[in-house]
Amino acid sequence: MADKTHIEWTDATWNPITGCSVVSPGCTNCYAMKLAGTRLQHHPSRAGLTAASKSGPVWNGKVRLNREWLYQPLEWKKPRMVFVCAHGDLFHEDVPDEWILDIFTIMAIAKQHTFQVLTKRADRMREFLSRPEDDLLEAIYTNWYSFDGGAREVWSWPLPNVWLGVSVEDQRRADERIPALLDTPAAVRWVSAEPLLGPVRLDRIGEFVDTFADCGGHPVPELPLDTQDATWLNPFKGKWEAEARAMDGSSRGPLDAGLLHDGGRLDWVVAGGESGKGARPMHPDWARSLRDQCVAAGIPFFFKQWGNYAPLLGAMPPDTMFHATKKIAGRVLDGIEHNAMPGSVRHG
């Protein structure tokens, strides 16, 4: 854990829980995993959390509560952005509910900070945090005195200083994780598209196309029989949308989706390419698309980094990339450094 960090969108990292397991392609070159199996392999917080493989250290699924670090945010008096469990996943399937509750208690007490939680286990996050509000707050209050020694304060739920986010490296993971995020009570909901490994339409999650092949064609008389209906969830608006399409995919106009969405909306998007050994290039258009989607929706967009590959300016074809260090590649997208955050919040 560190009171200082090189992660551009936060001020400090807090690692009360370490250890994880690989669940999707975005985990392949996880920096925390490689670090836990090399330089920190003998550190008490990391020892025994990885296994050797031909491609290097790999998380073995074990998780650890580092209780000596649990209270660290209470010692930081100056307000700051705090990335929670940067070297693990707070909602990993083997993290006990009691550990999660302890961490939420600390976040409630340390109200001067803004805590940024990021998970790949969106379903478990939704399950844990969708319990009755009174039950969650009472559980936090039960912990409060033993942690702080002072009188508890009255909080509303969700905690206003906790941002909940999911990692999405491609469209499949966006479709899987974002609906659960939107269904989870949160003051701020955000997405980290890093490492970005493919194009992602955040404004069209879980798109489904009905061809009406089993009923002889489209049921609306005013539309051609070969019309198809496409339906998707738009997290920026927090609503279902639909349109009629021709067989070639061209639009024949909007439709009433006929579905209600009871969840929230996305409030922030972070995007970035991969860095480190074995880094996979991010196509410039993938980052541009996310930027443009956020601009169209009026949502803050933060471009974290190109990673180890960046566009070669003036090259032909224009999407030619060159290999470089993260520092040389930089974090400027089409001449602009994007640093937007929800409500222009930044403590450090």
| pLDDT tens digits, 313-345 | 877 787 889 999 999 999 999 999 999 999 855
- Residue 217, pLDDT > 90, answer no
Contact between 257 and 250 (Cβ < 8 Å): no
- Spatial CA neighbour of 276 closest among 26, 11, 1: 26
Q: Band of the pLDDT at 2, cuts 50, 70, 90? A: low
Structure tokens at 245: 């399409």
Q: CA geometry: angle at 101 spanning 116 and 169, to 5°?
A: 35
Looking at the chain, the whole-number percentage of residues with pLDDT higher than 70 is 96
- Residue 254, pLDDT > 70, answer yes
- Spatial CA neighbour of 289 closest among 271, 304, 313: 271
The larger pLDDT score, comparing residue 271 to residue 153, is at 271
Q: Which residues pair with 2 in a beta bridge?
A: 13
- Residue 268, pLDDT > 90, answer yes
Give the pTM: 0.93
Q: How far is CA 283 from the centre of its chain?
A: 20
Check residue 149 and give its pLDDT: 67
| pLDDT tens digits, 44-96 | 999 999 999 999 999 999 999 999 999 999 999 999 999 999 999 999 999 99
Residue 149, by phi and psi: left (phi above 0), alpha (psi -120 to 50) or beta?
left
- d(CA 12, CA 73) in angstroms, rounded, equals 10
| pLDDT tens digits, 105-128 | 999 999 999 999 999 999 999 999
Q: Band of the pLDDT at 347, cuts 50, 70, 90? A: very low
| pLDDT tens digits, 289-302 | 999 999 999 999 99
Residue 248, Cβ neighbours under 10 Å: how many? 6
Check residue 257 and give its pLDDT: 80
Work out the mean pLDDT of the chain and round it to a whole number.
93
Check residue 345 and give its pLDDT: 53
- Residue 348, pLDDT > 60, answer no
| pLDDT tens digits, 164-214 | 999 999 999 999 999 999 999 999 999 999 999 999 999 999 999 999 988
Q: What is the largest CA-CA distance in the chain?
A: 70
